[in-house]
Structure 1
């Protein structure tokens, strides 16, 4: 694109035919996205309504625990969700006859308790007759409140799952007993607590992410207006992505859980802001070269379009590799995240340029949008009346509009060069105020700290990349100490001392076999039942075994030649010890193949999920590497550079795992990590980490065509340094926001991605890659023409 001519050092008024066409295109893009946003916004607000957080729904139909669950349906009309109430004295003294009245009242009143829609708890139970089971030490009673699984999954009036509402209602009633401590735990209790935590994603996580991004953008841009434009664009991208995901989840195309929804929020804000930083930086650079701002935005889009599209494609395709997972939860995270990245890319290449291109009347538009957006966020996190805020927002918006009108009139009649003249607030440049980029002014990016750093890389490239690689290798060595063998459900909350289900589980284990109420299920052929019972009894960790009996006759039930046994384990059902028993049972049954014995139940579900995670690591990680390598080869039209990039990102990944192992073991004192942690960390770190190398190398290749490879590397590092490190800070900060949720798994993912992104942005991309490429020279582009000689256009 030819640069616009003009003798003035200030931008000319946009009156060209191409400029008017660009303005109309901007208006069209803005209107289109506003229409899409008006459709997606209401759906985004209901996204948590289509979540599924039950572990059993994550497994494929071929999993052994899934097959057992299907067999159970033939033995009983309905399966149940056990909610366990553990009754003790607060001081753990023995229960006495004096407590009988309160206990009897509790057992009788629980089925009569009213829910939000006016229905009774008893309408959802398998039986309204509740029976207490005393502990051997006489200090506790266990009450199994079995909720019909079909009725429990219904949504009641306030949108809550029935079993979660039942759990919370029982807890509210339990606190009325002054002399007893009643804790509600079991699978139903834990699931209700998880739903409560994930329900906070709509509000707390979104608000925290927006605030963090806003603070960083204000610091980066140092402008009272410019930070709002990328932030509003990112919010729009999230609304569009959430609307699409809602439609897909509501129609059963994918399974949405709380984890994937949380990742969607931070990923859209992080990736979207990264793309906006790249575009705005390039736009500022082009405004020093073009007098007409629409020409500058066109040149900026042309310059960043390829790396942004390549970045989003790399990230999206890498995330879509999660479709190869055996777990529905992992499968959903891939498409959900990919939708978010693509929405962010489209918004930042269309809606954001439109806002940047608009004249200064965008300011009053923002004055109306900002109160609306903030009001929407407050509406998600508080029940307080928003009328006062709306009044203040309306007054602020009206004041801004009046000031804009006055400002516009003064501007029209202002003398050239005056304080309100077009030269001070030119079209397409006003958002950068007070540091408005002018035509012909030197770009300070070429003389700042990044220029000095690139000079250091150019003087001592080998020392730079070797020393950097050695430091990363040291941290990578600690990756072998990472404990990713799973975390018990009772240990998955960071605030477990405040979670009733966690407290209740600890009380239960103190007085009963840990697996009581969450029994393991074994099915087998009737002819081999004695052998199966013998194997179960001989397996360490089993507390008790009973056959499933006909409720009417009391005789063991046989269905199509199959029998079912309920096995109580000694260890808590969510513990690693209990999962080990599952593995031992399945191994022991292999010696009696005619029995076709299978093991299911909550503990077996967790065991199968862990096994699937191990399988997914071995399949998905190599696939992601191959896919990303192919994309980089196509993008850079070379073999050596892509191999170097993938190698450095792998080194960064293992260094991050090593640093995480140190932090998890010695700083945060986490009990361990979920088996899916290394996989998620890899997918996000590799897919997102390679972005910065794409941003760098595409600019380096562009400059290499003009200056030669080595000088192109230094120029590319200089001009991209600030924007890429700023993007790294934004992305790291958004993922670190996951720490607001009291779940170990999300905090670990957030910490790992944040740390890995910072390593990529500040170490790998800043020193390792440019120094290594500089040391190799033009051969880095082999086998393209740039590898044979430096070509100058």
Structure 2
């Protein structure tokens, strides 16, 4: 009797594991949600937080701690009356000065009249810390109270700009998350035409985002991880997009295996084994690409590297553990109404099979013509203007920009945003004062130890002008014993840092992507061709996006950070879809030969990769509704690039290159056709179950 007792199958031994995995993720989620909700507490709100490492402007900010009052971000209230200021206007400015004394980080000087008698300027020194926006709001609220008729009052200066940015980001994160979920849901409903299946990728992505936010909060709170303003918007798009992509890939493979195996646990085991390599390679590509940002000088770029990598790995772990557990717990019915059953044969040939046959007819003509199209689109990059001024930082004209224009009309151009100079040489002040382009030097402040002096340097020209940039370069050359920061000096340092980051990070990203592809495919030609097509699609998307920005959105220039961010996301994420395609082609070519493998790989992966591309394009496209110009440009560029790569490069150019290259596509590895693996053809499935009992088991 003991000998006749049936031994438990491997599938039955695995079944308790799914409940343990589900319970583990319930506990993790319950613990993560409160920590994730506290992520805004560790966001670095200081205006100096994103300055480039090692620059003069950054050094000036670091030295601020040695001065009474520390780092300052003045709030400048400008009062303008076209017919000339009145006694009531002067009384209003004086009343504001007294009322704002408790908010200021030092003594507020009396209102300064303009030379033309039409304006007054009140400069309030404010501490540049995480509460800057709150204090700036108090200044704005006070300045708007009891304003005499006909007097225009605006808050500008660094504090006014910080307040405008804070207002732009207020409540935007929740709105973006809701829009992202709705768009992802719509794409999944169209893809699966199931009233329930769409929930699983969305739930997994939401949990991945909560876990990521919790980890980022804990690292920011206890390990000093820098979290910048606007980081959560990019993180939402990245985690939701990439988690859903991985979920779609696993779901597609699981659906295939359900037709080949009567037991869903066995089907999931096979699906996980075959999906693990491309999904893990994808996660490695994106996360390592993001970590290349650790070589960046820009504060925002440097911070995005580890935070983005945490998000990618969070999505990978959730999708490869929680999603399989949920799928085997729920059973085949989750695919209703199109439930995959053991022995089912896919009906007919889909659109991607037809596309593959047309590409195969003349592959060289197809890929040459395709590259010509990309080249034509990339020609649009020749007219790009780079570097947005402060007036176009937000999509709408902010109040602080209007205030700065009023200051420029009635005071020296740099009054709203003076330079800061720090020196230990008493003679430096005279050298600065006598330098061309300097209107005046004011507000000298000695350091607490008496070794340094800090000045405000007001330039003749507006801070964003070429004349102001030239004046700063002359100052740095003529007065080497002083460090210059803030305003135009900070903008120059940012531009230099962004140029450095493009020179350093872009080659690193390309190198990482190429190494991962070579390791996965065990080939050299295929990775080189794939990377080449992705780079070509990036420049094509950049050219097309610039035409939209210039002629539809009305942006005068491309933010200097967009080119690098767009390249990083498009290359790292765009390679994903080609990686999924080429790894499947490699698998099919091993069984059916190279030509058949290319066509079968395209036919099998076409639908799921297209859906994944739509999801990723939608999640990044949501950034287009933000009021921050840089975010809008990143969202539009990445969305265009993903769509172009998904529906043109991956579906047309890459298969054409693979077909034209033939087996040399896998050089130096040798590929040859082999017999189909045990279990039947991957496209048609195995023979149907022979008995009713087998069919009954397949329903599970």
The two structures have a TM-score, normalised by structure 1, of 0.80
Q: Quote the RMSD (CA, aligned, Å).
A: 2.3
Distance 1:162 1:74, change over 3 A: closer
Do structure 1's residue 109 and structure 2's residue 99 form an aligned pair? yes
> Does structure 2 retain, via aligned residues, the 8 Å contact 1:80–1:126?
no
| Residue equivalent to 1:66 | 58
Deviations 1:74-127 (CA, angstroms, capped at 9, x unpaired): 4545342211111224xx33211243443333333334xxxxxxxxxx055312
Contact 2:208-2:311 at 8 Å conserved across structures: yes
Q: Distance in 1 between matches of 2:326 and 2:466?
A: 54
4+ aligned runs moved over 6 Å, structure 1: none
- From 366, 369, 390, the equivalent of 1:489 is 390
Q: Alpha carbons of 1:650 and 1:539: their partners in 2 closer, same or farther (altered >3 Å)?
A: same
Aligned partner of 2:682 in structure 1 is: none
1:380-391 to 2 correspondences below 5 Å: none
**2:227 aligned counterpart, secondary structure:** coil
Distance 2:429 2:238 in 1: 54
DSSP-derived class of the 2:125 partner = strand
Alignment of 1:161-240 (within 5 A): 161-178=130-147, 179=149, 180-240=151-211
Superposition pairs of residues 150-161 of structure 1, within 5 angstroms: 153=129, 161=130
Residue in structure 2 matched with residue 385 of structure 1 by the alignment: none
Report SS of the residue matched to 1:59: coil
Structure 1 residue 229: Cα displacement: 1.0
Alpha-carbon distance in 2 for matches of 1:571, 1:470:
46
Any idea what the Cα deviations from partners look like across 1:245-288, whole Å, max 9, x if unmatched?
Answer: 11111224421112322111110000011111111111112222
- CA shift digits 1:526-559 (9 cap, x unpaired): 37537723xx53424x3223472679xxxxx994
Shift of 1:349: 0.9
Distance between the aligned counterparts of 2:224 and 2:597, measured in 1?
46
Question: Is 1:94 matched up with 2:94?
Answer: no
The answer to whether the Cα contact below 8 Å between 1:488 and 1:576 also exists between their aligned partners in 2 is no
Residue 655 of structure 2: which of 770, 776, 779 is its match? Answer: 770
C-alpha displacement at 1:574, in angstroms? 4.6
1:346, CA displacement in angstroms? Answer: 0.9
| 8 Å contact kept, 2:268–2:328 | yes
2:257·2:268 contact (CA, 8 Å) conserved in 1? yes
Across the two proteins, how many residue pairs are aligned to each other? 668
Structure 1 equivalent of residue 691 of structure 2: none
Closer/same/farther in 2, CA of residues 314 and 274 from structure 1, 3 Å limit: same
Please list, as runs of the form range in 1=range in 2, the aligned pairs for 1:483-562 lying within 5 A after superposition.
Answer: 483-484=385-386, 486-496=387-397, 499-524=398-423, 526=425, 528-529=427-428, 532-533=431-432, 537-540=434-437, 542-546=438-442, 548=444, 559-560=450-451
SS at structure 2 position matched to 1:566: strand
Q: Which residue of 1 aligns with 2:697?
A: none
Match of 2:335 among 420, 432, 441: 432
* Structure 1: runs of 5+ lacking an equivalent: 1-14, 112-121, 154-160, 360-427, 552-556, 590-594
Tell me the distance in 1 between the aligned counterparts of 2:465 and 2:319.
Answer: 46
Instruction: Map 1:771-786; keep pairs closer than 5 Å.
Output: 771-786=656-671
Query: Residue 760 of structure 1 aligns with which residue?
Result: 645
Alpha-carbon distance in structure 2 between the residues aligned to 1:524 and 1:16: 79
Q: Which one of 636, 639, 644 corresponds to residue 524 of structure 2? A: 639
1:708–1:792: 8 Å Cα contact kept in structure 2? Answer: no
Report the alpha carbon displacement of residue 66 of structure 1 after superposing the two structures with TM: 2.2
Instruction: Please say if 1:696 is aligned against 2:581.
Output: yes
How many angstroms apart in 1 are the aligned matches of 2:287 and 2:60? 36
Give the corresponding residue for 1:668. Answer: 553
Quote the Cα distance in structure 1 between the aligned partners of 2:66 and 2:33: 44
Map of 1:582 onto structure 2: 472
Q: 99, 105, 109: which one pairs with 1:125?
A: 105
Q: Distance in 1 between matches of 2:254 and 2:141?
A: 57
Q: Does 1:750 align with 2:632?
A: no
Distance between the aligned counterparts of 1:547 and 1:268, measured in 2?
47
Contact 1:526 1:558 in 2 (8 A): no
The answer to whether the aligner puts 1:36 opposite 2:28 as a matched pair is yes
What SS does the aligned partner of 2:484 have? strand
Q: Is the 8 A contact 1:519 1:568 kept in 2?
A: yes
Of residues 680-689 and 48-57 in structure 1, the stretch that sits farther from structure 2 once superposed is 48-57
| Separation of aligned partners in 2, 1:172 and 1:192 | 12
Specify whether residues 203 and 712 from structure 1 end up closer, same or farther in structure 2 by C-alpha distance, changes over 3 A only. Answer: same
Secondary structure class of the residue paired with 1:203: helix
Q: Deviations over 1:26-84 (max 9, x none)?
A: 21111111111111111111212211143422235521122233445545453422111
Q: Choose 708-717 or 523-532, whichever is displaced more.
A: 523-532
**Paired position in structure 2 for 1:335:** 306
Is the CA contact (8 Å cut-off) linking 1:55 and 1:605 kept in structure 2?
A: no
* Counterpart Cα distance in 2 of 1:98 and 1:644: 72
Match of 2:245 among 274, 285, 295: 274
The CA distance in 1 between the partners of 2:628 and 2:83, in whole Å, is 33
**Is the 1:708–1:790 Cα contact (8 Å) retained in structure 2?**
yes
Displacement after TM superposition at 1:792 (Å)? 4.5
Query: What secondary structure sits across from 1:526 in the alignment?
Result: coil
